[in-house]
Amino acid sequence: MQFGELLAKRRKEANLSQEQLAEKLNVTRQAVSKWESGASMPDIETIKQISDIFSVSIDMLIYGEDRFQKKQMNRDIRTQIIEPIFMAVVFVCGIVLFIISMYAYGELFQPFPLRVSLFLCTVSLLYFIVSKIISLIHHNRF
C-alpha cells in the first residue's frame, strides 16, 4: 500500500473528510487530494503531523503497510529467536568462565595465581551482568 492509499484509508477510518484533514494540517483540500492520488507527497513536517494525527509511525507512512509489516516480522524473528540464542550462548560462556575460575582456585590448577582466578571470576560475573543489562535495554524493560 502506497502513501496515498494509506493516507486515504486512515483518514476514512478516522471519519475525516479531506477538508477536515486539510484544516488540521494547515493545508488545502487540494493538497490532501494530491497526496491521496499519488500526484505529490507532503513535506517531512507534514508527514510528522499526519503520523501524530493517525497514531502511526513515519516508517509505516513512508514505506507502506506491507513493507513495514515485513520489517516488523524480521524484527520479531530477531527478538524471538536470535536474541534468546545469543543470550543463552553468553550465559553459557559466563558459566564456563566461572567454572574455570573455580578450578583455577582449587587443586586442579594449583600453579594458577590467586589473582588470575579472581580475575576470571570477576570477568564472568561482569560478562553476565552486562549482557543482561543490554538485553533489558534492548527490550525497553529497563
- Residue 8: predicted pLDDT: 92
- Residue 123: predicted pLDDT: 73
Expressed as residue numbers, the domain containing 56 is 3-63
Contact 8, 33 (CB under 8 A): no
- Residue 127: predicted pLDDT: 77
Task: Give the residue from 42, 63, 84 where a domain finishes.
Answer: 63
Separation CA 49–CA 66 (nearest Å): 22
| Assigned C-alpha cell, 132 | 543482561
Q: Rg for the chain (alpha carbons), in Å?
A: 27
Q: Do 13 and 33 have their domain in common? A: yes
- Residue 72: predicted pLDDT: 67
Q: Is residue 68 part of a domain?
A: no
Q: Do 130 and 82 have their domain in common? A: yes
Closest C-alpha among 92, 93, 115 to residue 104: 115
| Assigned C-alpha cell, 11 | 483518514
Q: Do 126 and 81 have their domain in common? A: yes
Q: Is residue 110 part of a domain?
A: yes
- Residue 98: predicted pLDDT: 66
Task: Give the residue from 20, 36, 63 where a domain finishes.
Answer: 63
- Residue 69: predicted pLDDT: 66
Q: Tell me the mean pLDDT per 10 residues along the chain, length 142.
A: 86 93 94 93 93 87 72 67 72 70 60 60 75 74 50
Count of domains forming the chain: 2
